[in-house]
């Protein structure tokens, strides 16, 4: 105890001594303390980012944000020419045969799809990334004080169109889905699925608003940005889907009145085709042309991934010029085996000149939509007229179908040979016209009626249990 008291007295003495020294040493600490702490640990945003508010103060940066959407769609979404609907739904339906061993594609080809399928998971994820980007633009544009009303209308119109378009593909693949209209991650993280009818209602609302906001109907700037005609084309497609035949007819007519059909079928898939409503511009660096040509054109056997199915080849009528112009063939090195491939897009990446862009909407679809709507409305003559426009261009005679049923069959087949290997048109047709079982059960030995819907990605059900239950059959 004595020691302790002794020590404390010394401590006091020493402390006093130290404080006396303060004047000649202490300024070092004073100086270091002179820098205000919180200023030192505050930093500016790095040079490769823009804060969100500044993006919507300038039309140029909003265009950049929209360009991001188109680039994402072109490169990594389900409408991309690589690993997109064109190949995957081609092998899932009766358009294509598949030769490689990629597990995701094999599952689709053999109708043994698992909920863990990586391709489908990527489609799901990339879709909602695009939807988020659209929603953020819609929100940012609405709140912006710096943009002019015209700019606002144009940007919001494009974003609404994209939101509707992506949802329209999701609902067609997965059935009931959530419809995302906000950027609120808390709500979106636990969102539930809504019934198919409700989804289509939302899509139609969005696309109608897009139509009212967008101005331009004519092709411009290589049609690499969707315009009002594109929005109307999607709207017509949605009306057919929801069996709203009158509106489908009038909406398709609006598109047809603004676009002339490309008369030469050899030019339909060139970048300046008159028929094109909307297409993706390639990046111009590694790819000057389309992913589609690279995916479909068989350059060597072996080495092929996809070839056209016997069924598709047999669906062409004799004298159909599309059979010559849009289909190519390759023979194996030993000469024993010949395979046919989609040759709508011919220029593969490494051709120096840029000849072809990847087309999403073309006016031919509107003729066949109107033909279908008119057939459903009992206007057989009108239906035949539209159908014949497409047939005649391909060098075929007028259709012999005249009743609603025969016309529907003729339209289904016409759509098959016109839109094969284009963004899953065939699969969506089979599903919409409820003939998937008839057409596929004989080809796909594993066919189950539940195959009309693809599974919600397993990881997403884990992340958001509100998305349960899984679609039947998975």
Partner 1 sequence: MKNIILLKISRILSTACFLCMFLGWQAVFSLTGSLHNNPWVNQSWQQAMVTGAITDINGIPLAGVAVQVKGKQIGVVSDPDGNFSIVAKPNDVLVFSALGFITQNVSVNQQNTIRIQLLEDVTQLEGITLNAGYYTVKEKERTGNIAKLSSKIIEKQPVNNPLAAMQGHLSGVNIVQNTGVPGGGFTIEIRGRNFLNGATEPLYIVDGVPYGSESLASVSVSQGINGANISPLNAINPNDIESIEVLKDADATAIYGSRAANGVVLITTKKGKAGKTKFNVNMSSTLGTVSNFLDLMNTQQYLEVRREGIINDGFGSFLENPAFDFVWPDVKSWDQNRQTDWQKELIGGTSYRNQLQLSVSGGSDQTQFLISSAYQNETTVFPGDSKYGKVTVNSNINHQSKDNRFKINLSTLYSRETNNLPRTDLANSAYTLEPNAPALYDENGNLNWENNTFDNPLGLLQEDYNVNINTLIANTGITYELTTNLEFKTSLGFTTYDLDSYRILPSTARNPSFGFTPENYSTLTTNSGSRQSWIVEPQLQWKPKWNKLGLNVLVGSTFQKQPSTQLVQSGRGFPNNELIRNLSAAKTLQVLEDSDSEYNYQAFFGRINFNWDGKYIVNFTGRRDGSSRFGPGKQFGNFGAVGLAWLFSEELLLKESSLLSFGKLRGSFGSTGSDNIGDYQFLDTYRVTGLNYNGVGIIEPSGIFNPFFGWEVNKKLEAALELGFFKDRLLLNSSWYQNRSSNQLIGIPLAATTGFSSLTGNFDATVENTGFEFDLRSTNIKGTNFQWSSTFNITFPENRLVQFPGLETSVFANRFVIGESLSIIKLFESQGVNSETGIYEFKDFNGDGLITGLEDRKFIEDFSPDFFGGLGNVFRYKNISLDLFFQFKKQRGFNSFVTQTAPGFRRNGSVDLLDRWQEVGDEVSVTKASASLNPASFASRDNQRFSNAAVSDASFIRLRNISFSYHIPKTNKNGLDMNVYLQGQNLWTITNYDGPDPEQTSTLILPPLRQITLGLQLGF
Please say which residue, 6 or 449, places its beta carbon nearer to partner 1: 6
- Per CB under 8 A, 281 contacts partner 1: yes
**End-to-end Cα, the chain, rounded Å:** 79
User: Among 3, 23, 149, 400, which residue sits at the site for partner 1 (rule: CB under 8 A)?
Assistant: 3
User: Among 1, 47, 381, 434, which residue sits at the site for partner 1 (rule: CB under 8 A)?
Assistant: 47
In the DSSP assignment, the letter for residue 115 is T
Candidates 348, 368, 362, 447; CA nearest to 415 is: 368
Q: CA 322 to CA 197: how far, in whole Å?
A: 36
CB of 49 vs partner 1, minimal distance in Å: 4
Q: Is 280 helix (H, G, I), strand (E, B) or coil?
A: strand
| From 30-38, 142-150, 391-399, 430-438, span contacting partner 1 (CB under 8 A) | 30-38
- Per CB under 8 A, 463 contacts partner 1: yes
- Per CB under 8 A, 209 contacts partner 1: no
- Per CB under 8 A, 23 contacts partner 1: no
- Per CB under 8 A, 305 contacts partner 1: no
User: Among 1, 16, 23, 44, which residue sits at the site for partner 1 (rule: CB under 8 A)?
Assistant: 44
CB of 393 vs partner 1, minimal distance in Å: 29
- Per CB under 8 A, 43 contacts partner 1: yes
Cα torsion at 233, 471, 408, 391 (round to 10°)?
Answer: 50
Q: Binding to partner 1 (CB under 8 A): which residues in 379-408?
A: none
CB of 297 vs partner 1, minimal distance in Å: 11
User: Among 150, 257, 272, 303, which residue sits at the site for partner 1 (rule: CB under 8 A)?
Assistant: 303
DSSP states along 312-375? HHHHSPTT-HHHHHSEEEEE-TTSS-EEEEE-SS---TT-SS----EEEEETHHHHHHHHHHHH
User: Among 1, 31, 318, 353, which residue sits at the site for partner 1 (rule: CB under 8 A)?
Assistant: 31
User: Among 93, 105, 107, 343, which residue sits at the site for partner 1 (rule: CB under 8 A)?
Assistant: 107
Longest dimension (CA), the chain: 120
User: Among 188, 244, 330, 380, which residue sits at the site for partner 1 (rule: CB under 8 A)?
Assistant: 188
Candidates 317, 308, 312, 346; CA nearest to 430 is: 312
Q: CA 426 to CA 439: how far, in whole Å?
A: 11
- Per CB under 8 A, 49 contacts partner 1: yes
Gyration radius (Cα) of the chain, Å: 30
In the DSSP assignment, the letter for residue 58 is -
In the DSSP assignment, the letter for residue 457 is P
User: Among 1, 23, 25, 145, which residue sits at the site for partner 1 (rule: CB under 8 A)?
Assistant: 25
Please say which residue, 154 or 418, places its beta carbon nearer to partner 1: 154
Q: How many residues bind partner 1 (CB under 8 A)?
A: 105
Cα separations in angstroms, 240 against 163, 219, 270, 428: 19, 24, 28, 12
Residue with tokens 């009528």: 317
Please say which residue, 343 or 376, places its beta carbon nearer to partner 1: 343
- Per CB under 8 A, 149 contacts partner 1: no
Please say which residue, 183 or 244, places its beta carbon nearer to partner 1: 183
> Count of CB atoms within 10 A of residue 125's CB?
15
Please say which residue, 70 or 367, places its beta carbon nearer to partner 1: 70
Q: Is 10 helix (H, G, I), strand (E, B) or coil?
A: helix
């Amino acid at each position: 105890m004595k020691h302790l008291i002794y020590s404390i007295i010394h401590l006091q003495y020493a402390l006093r001594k130290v404080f006396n020294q303060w004047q000649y040493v202490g300024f070092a600490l004073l100086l270091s303390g002179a820098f205000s702490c919180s200023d030192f640990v505050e930093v500016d945003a790095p040079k490769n980012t823009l804060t969100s508010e500044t993006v919507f103060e300038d039309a140029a940066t909003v265009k950049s944000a929209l360009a991001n959407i188109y680039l994402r769609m072109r490169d990594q979404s389900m409408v991309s020419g690589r690993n997109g609907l064109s190949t995957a739904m081609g092998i899932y339906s009766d358009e294509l045969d598949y030769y490689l061993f990629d597990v995701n594609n094999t599952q689709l080809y053999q109708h043994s799809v698992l909920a863990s399928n990586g391709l489908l998971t990527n489609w799901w994820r990339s879709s909602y990334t695009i939807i988020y980007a659209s929603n953020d633009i819609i929100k940012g544009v609405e709140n912006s004080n710096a943009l002019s009303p015209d700019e606002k209308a144009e940007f919001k119109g494009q974003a609404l169109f994209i939101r509707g378009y992506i949802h329209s593909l999701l609902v067609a693949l997965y059935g009931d889905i959530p419809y995302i209209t906000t950027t609120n991650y808390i709500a979106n993280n636990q969102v539930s699925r809504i019934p198919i009818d409700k989804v289509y209602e939302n899509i139609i609302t969005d696309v109608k608003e897009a139509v009212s906001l967008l101005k331009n109907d004519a092709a411009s700037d290589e049609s690499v940005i969707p315009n009002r005609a594109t929005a109307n084309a999607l709207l017509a497609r949605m009306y057919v889907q929801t069996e709203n035949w009158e509106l489908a007819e009038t909406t398709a007519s609006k598109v047809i009145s603004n676009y002339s059909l490309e008369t030469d079928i050899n030019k339909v898939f060139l970048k300046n085709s008159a028929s094109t409503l909307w297409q993706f511009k390639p990046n111009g660096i590694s790819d000057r042309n389309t992913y589609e040509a690279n995916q479909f054109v068989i350059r060597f056997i072996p080495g092929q991934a996809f070839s056209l199915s016997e069924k598709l080849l047999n669906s062409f009528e004799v004298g159909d010029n599309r059979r010559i112009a849009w289909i190519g063939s390759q023979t194996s090195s030993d000469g024993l085996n010949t395979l046919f491939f989609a040759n709508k897009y011919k220029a593969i990446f490494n051709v120096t000149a840029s000849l072809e862009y990847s087309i999403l909407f073309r006016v031919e679809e509107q003729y066949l939509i109107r033909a279908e709507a008119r057939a459903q409305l009992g206007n057989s003559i009108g239906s035949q007229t539209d159908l014949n426009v497409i047939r005649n261009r391909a060098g075929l005679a007028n259709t012999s179908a005249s009743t609603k049923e025969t016309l529907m069959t003729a339209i289904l087949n016409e759509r098959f040979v016109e839109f094969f290997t284009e963004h899953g048109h065939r699969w969506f047709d089979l599903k919409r016209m409820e003939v998937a079982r008839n057409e596929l059960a004989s080809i796909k030995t594993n066919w189950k009626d539940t195959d009309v819907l693809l599974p919600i990605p397993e990881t997403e059900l884990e992340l958001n249990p509100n998305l349960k239950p899984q679609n039947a059959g998975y």
